[in-house]
Amino acid sequence: MLEIVPLPAFRDNYIWTLRDGAKAAVVDPGEAAPVKAYLAKEKLTLVAILATHHHPDHVGGIAELIAAHNVPVFGPRGEPIPELTHPVGQGDRANIEELGASFDVLDIPGHTRAHVAYYGLGSLFCGDTLFACGCGRVFEGTPQQMLESLSKLAALPDATKVYCGHEYTLANIQFARNVDPGNQALEAREKSVRKLRDAGQPSLPSTLGEERATNPFLRCAEPAIVESANKYLGARVADPIRVFAAIREWKNKS
Ligand SMILES: [Zn+2]
């Protein structure tokens, strides 16, 4: 039975570890030390590495890990990650035979040019594109691309577990409450996430059902979000791309 375990890295990154029996794979190892320590403590053999995008806090540990373990490294074909052995993109599958696990690769550009997500076994590894109650900054793509990528993820089933790259949930919820003040699901989410964080627990994974109900970046066509974007802009816009761009800019400044 596959288990998914978060390894905290840096200040607020998670390296997601997939383990079954004595084998493990890691997603986005920004640093090697926490992975090496966990593998040693749990007596696990590393069998694969998956990368969602090229930012150093997601791939910085790969070189050191493959120096010790000769394993396949999956990652986006269109990004500068020199350690990739399996460059992938939309329509490809990342097969990890040793874990009996296989993931569909989805192209989700916007945060970076060729960011990918891995989807399988009811789980989604989405790096810095979709966050719990938020989304990544648009660094290398356009707001339109980012919104399309988020919409692609939002179309997955409600029960899909969302494993994103950072513990940003509480701050994201606080921003979301300004944008979507009447949303009771959001208020309830703040209470439950605060409880988890106060107990030192990760707020992740969330589910896509929760995200669709509370994440303002997935709700750009909702009247309350359009209204807030208009207030922020001091202008009337209704196009979801412009609404998305407005709340993304607002979040950058908040
Ligand atoms: Zn990033």
Mean pLDDT of 84-100: 97
Q: b vs e for 181-190, b when ≥16 Cβ sit within 10 Å of the residue's Cβ?
A: eebeebeebb
198 in active site? no
What's the pLDDT at 1? 87
Q: Binning pLDDT at 50, 70 and 90, where does residue 18 land?
A: very high
Query: Where does 42-83 show beta strands of DSSP type E?
Result: 45-50, 73-76
The Cα–Cα gap between 247 and 196 comes to 27
What's the pLDDT at 160? 98
The catalytic residue among 58, 107, 115, 180 is 58
Mean pLDDT, the chain, integer: 97
- Collect contacts of 81-87 with beta carbons under 8 A, ≥24 apart: 81/51, 81/54, 83/59, 84/51
pLDDT digits (tens, 9 = 90+) for 23-73: 999 999 999 999 999 999 999 999 999 999 999 999 999 999 999 999 999
User: Before 240, cis peptide (omega within 30)?
Assistant: no
pLDDT digits (tens, 9 = 90+) for 156-174: 999 999 999 999 999 999 9
Mean pLDDT of 115-141: 98
54 in active site? no
Question: Which residues lie across from 17 on neighbouring strands?
Answer: 5, 26
The catalytic residue among 28, 54, 107, 111 is 111
- By percentage, how much of the chain surpasses pLDDT 90? 99
The catalytic residue among 28, 54, 57, 107 is 57
Query: Tokens standing for 150?
Result: 């988020």
Distance (angstroms) between ligand 1 centre and the Cα of 202 equals: 19
Mean pLDDT of 68-91: 97
Distance (angstroms) between ligand 1 centre and the Cα of 127 equals: 7
What's the pLDDT at 254? 87
Pairing of strands 23-27, 13-20: antiparallel
Mean pLDDT of 169-197: 97
- By percentage, how much of the chain surpasses pLDDT 70? 100
- Does residue 199 carry a pLDDT above 90? yes
What's the pLDDT at 56? 98
CA-closest candidate to residue 85, choices 140, 3, 96: 96
